[in-house]
Amino acid sequence: MVKQVPDAADIRFDPITLNLIREGIPSIVNPFCLNALEEGLRLKERFGGTVTAVSMGPLQAQDGLREALAIGADRAVLASDREMAGADTLATSYTLWKTMQRIAENQPFDIILSGKVAIDGETGQVPPGIAVRFGIPIISNVTMIEEIDLESQAIVAKHRFDDGIETVRAPLPAVLTITEEANKPRKFTVEGMLKAKRMKVEVWDKNTMGADPDLLGLKGSPTIVKKVFPPPGRKQGEIFDGTADPRAAAKWLIQKLVSVRALGSSQAESLQTPVQITNPSTIVEMLGQPASKIENSEKFGEVWVFIEHLHGRPAQVGWELLGEGKRLASIYGTKLAALVIGNNVEHLAKDAFAYGADKVYMVDHEQLEDYRTQPYAVAMTQAVRKYRPEALLIGGTVRGRDLAGSAATFLETGLIADCTALDVDTESGTFMGTRPDYGGNLMSTIICPKHRPTMASVRPRVMKALPPSPDGDREIVRMHVDLRKQDLNTNVIEFVPIEKIGVRLEDAQVIVSGGRGLGSAKNFYLVEELARILNGQVGASRAAVRAGWIGFEHQVGQTGLTVRPRLYVAVGISGAIQHIVGIMNVDYIVAINRDPNAPIFKMADFGVVGDIFKVIPALIDELKSGGLAELAPWQKSSTP
């Protein structure tokens, strides 16, 4: 699958209408689709066969397909019809499925490859939807295809979750989404371009593929965009020119960070005494939201939160969503319920109650020990069909996106991905999800007016968990799930947890990130030393990762991790939009850069203009000696 997207770096909007200005904005092939194409070409080189590039979009999308032909694809098909315009992910997966079904009539396929996400929408929902429609397995976020056995028609691949790397076996045909870790895409050659010029991109309308017009485009889309607006800017921070005196800059910075409690305080916060939560309006107030409520609450279903876990070890995002879910449920005047799916996961019900759930729906089944897309999606679908919640919140993790995309397709409902804010229109009771689009250049508020539940995913660390309250047991609804043999279509061979691979940037309270300004891999020691002293983790810009100075698992940004530490120190990082989108929710951003016009200073709460090779050693020195004495106790004790 090859998607044509506007180049995020050049995106501009009409300031009045907030429409995307298309003229003069270059379109590019979504970078992850190039990874998918590369993987397809490598498979063709190993096993023979053909590579067909498929896309949906306006006629201009032929350009992307022509590029795919120039790179090496054998055939290109574009689904293009006016009635396909305005499609959300459900309608898009329907259209692409119909297109590929039609192709497969004469040319059966073994693998459908797609990029892990498209950089304009970043939802990653279309490939799981296509897998569900074909009734074939999906392996999301593939970092390596280990083995393909054409005789037994099976594939073994490694894929990355937020908490580790899993090796999985699946029967073919299958859908795979490919990460940038998997390969380095080849570029097109002059001969390739000449060949592509002679080839034709096949353009198919709805009749060619036999599509139902009611399921295409806007008509077939459960979600609609209610409004678009520019992203909220951070207020301009304070800048210190440390060019002449780096030590003075270091002292200034430490004093500033201490004054706002950016050093030390968050640890103290996380250790605060649990509070008893009994009154929903108290919670609403705790979360800083107005306690407005809806009339007629009996006509609304419950608010559900999916509790993600790995073999019973919960991901923090579930508790964060319960915190937000509590607020939403109190607006609806309904119950907040946790949906727990797994094997031997009774203990998660207790945790869910402690984090605010009024009720737990429990699907406990021995076949649900490992997370596998299809059986989990089937369990979720059966639970939703039976109990009909109003809204279902899922963590925007790799696992969560994979599950949400599949379940939403089974349920034929709307899924709003990667929301940064959730709310309810108190007049109509409509659930609203707000999310960044076009690489964070624009915010969209999306609703799902006619389908239930509205599903929404939210990345980790965007919402805040309530402090846990050991409040005793509440209602547990145990549910049986019917799993057919064909639902158990993947086998987990191995899982290597992130602890073994190292780094959990998502959980860090302090991150010190290095960029191209460091100049070489060996200079990363400065970033590492500062991170060690601040009891933090090391992050990086994509430029540093691409240069091979540090591993991909450290990358922060659009194609890396979204982080939410208390303190983020950007060392020699310019502040490109693709980096910024990963640090939107950081409490305090510090930038150290010698260029006073670097965009990162527009985001930074505290900026030091100066040479990192002078400022960072001075900062380390000051923290180690006098400066550190001023910090909160946990900081001191964590420093040897």
Ligand X SMILES: Cc1cc2nc3c(=O)[nH]c(=O)nc-3n(C[C@H](O)[C@H](O)[C@H](O)COP(=O)(O)OP(=O)(O)OC[C@H]3O[C@@H](n4cnc5c(N)ncnc54)[C@H](O)[C@@H]3O)c2cc1C
Instruction: Find out whether 304 and 453 touch, Cβ atoms under 8 Å.
Output: yes
Q: How far is the CB of 244 from ligand X (least distance, A)?
A: 14
Nearer to ligand X, 136 or 544 (CB): 544
The 3-state DSSP class for residue 270 equals helix
Nearer to ligand X, 54 or 609 (CB): 609
Q: How far is the CB of 51 from ligand X (least distance, A)?
A: 22
Nearer to ligand X, 326 or 554 (CB): 554
The 3-state DSSP class for residue 200 equals coil
Residues numbered 13 to 72 that lie near ligand X (CB under 6 A) are: 31
Q: How far is the CB of 14 from ligand X (least distance, A)?
A: 23
Q: How far is CA 357 from the centre of its chain?
A: 24
- Reading the block at residue 588, the tokens are 């305090």
127, 453, 515, 627: which one binds ligand X (CB under 6 A): 515
State yes or no: residue 517 binds ligand X (CB under 6 A): yes
Residues numbered 577 to 616 that lie near ligand X (CB under 6 A) are: 578-579, 582, 593-595, 598, 611-613
Residue 270 — φ and ψ, nearest 5°? -70, -15
Q: List, as one string, the DSSP characters of 28-90.
A: EE-HHHHHHHHHHHHHHHHH----EEEEESSGGGHHHHHHHHHHT-SEEEEE--GGGTT--HH
State yes or no: residue 572 binds ligand X (CB under 6 A): yes
State yes or no: residue 560 binds ligand X (CB under 6 A): yes
Q: How far is the CB of 59 from ligand X (least distance, A)?
A: 24
Q: How far is the CB of 445 from ligand X (least distance, A)?
A: 25
Residues numbered 121 to 150 that lie near ligand X (CB under 6 A) are: none
Nearer to ligand X, 327 or 564 (CB): 564
State yes or no: residue 573 binds ligand X (CB under 6 A): yes
Nearer to ligand X, 251 or 542 (CB): 542
Q: How far is the CB of 545 from ligand X (least distance, A)?
A: 8
Nearer to ligand X, 567 or 576 (CB): 576
Residue type at position 531: A
Contacts 24+ apart (CB under 8 A), 24-30: 27/60, 27/63, 27/64, 28/4, 28/64, 29/2, 29/3, 29/4, 29/5, 29/64, 29/67, 29/68, 30/2, 30/3, 30/4, 30/5, 30/115, 30/118, 30/119, 30/120
Instruction: Find out whether 470 and 354 touch, Cβ atoms under 8 Å.
Output: yes
Number of Cβ within 10 Å of residue 376's Cβ equals 24
Nearer to ligand X, 31 or 49 (CB): 31
Separation of alpha carbons 8 and 22, rounded Å? 12
186, 504, 516, 532: which one binds ligand X (CB under 6 A): 516
Separation of alpha carbons 132 and 374, rounded Å? 8
Nearer to ligand X, 128 or 607 (CB): 607
**For the purposes of burial, counting CB atoms within 10 Å of the CB of 197, is it exposed (0-12), middle (13-18) or buried (19 or more)?**
exposed
The C-alpha R_g of the chain, in whole angstroms, comes to: 25
The stretch among 82-90, 93-101, 384-392, 574-582 that binds ligand X (CB under 6 A) is: 574-582
State yes or no: residue 4 binds ligand X (CB under 6 A): no
574, 584, 586, 618: which one binds ligand X (CB under 6 A): 574
State yes or no: residue 249 binds ligand X (CB under 6 A): no
Q: How far is the CB of 440 from ligand X (least distance, A)?
A: 11
Nearer to ligand X, 405 or 557 (CB): 557
Q: How far is the CB of 599 from ligand X (least distance, A)?
A: 8
Judged by phi (left if over 0) then psi (alpha if -120 to 50, else beta), residue 455 lies in: beta
State yes or no: residue 462 binds ligand X (CB under 6 A): no
Separation of alpha carbons 364 and 480, rounded Å? 8
Q: How far is the CB of 579 from ligand X (least distance, A)?
A: 3
- Reading the block at residue 272, the tokens are 């605060």
> If you search the block for the tokens 């692409």, which residue do you land on?
96
Residues numbered 540 to 559 that lie near ligand X (CB under 6 A) are: 541-544, 555-559
Separation of alpha carbons 403 and 296, rounded Å? 32
Instruction: Find out whether 294 and 285 touch, Cβ atoms under 8 Å.
Output: no
119, 362, 391, 526: which one binds ligand X (CB under 6 A): 119
- How many positions of this chain bind ligand X (CB under 6 A)? 30
Give residues in contact with ligand X (CB under 6 A).
9, 31, 119, 515-517, 541-544, 555-560, 572-574, 576, 578-579, 582, 593-595, 598, 611-613
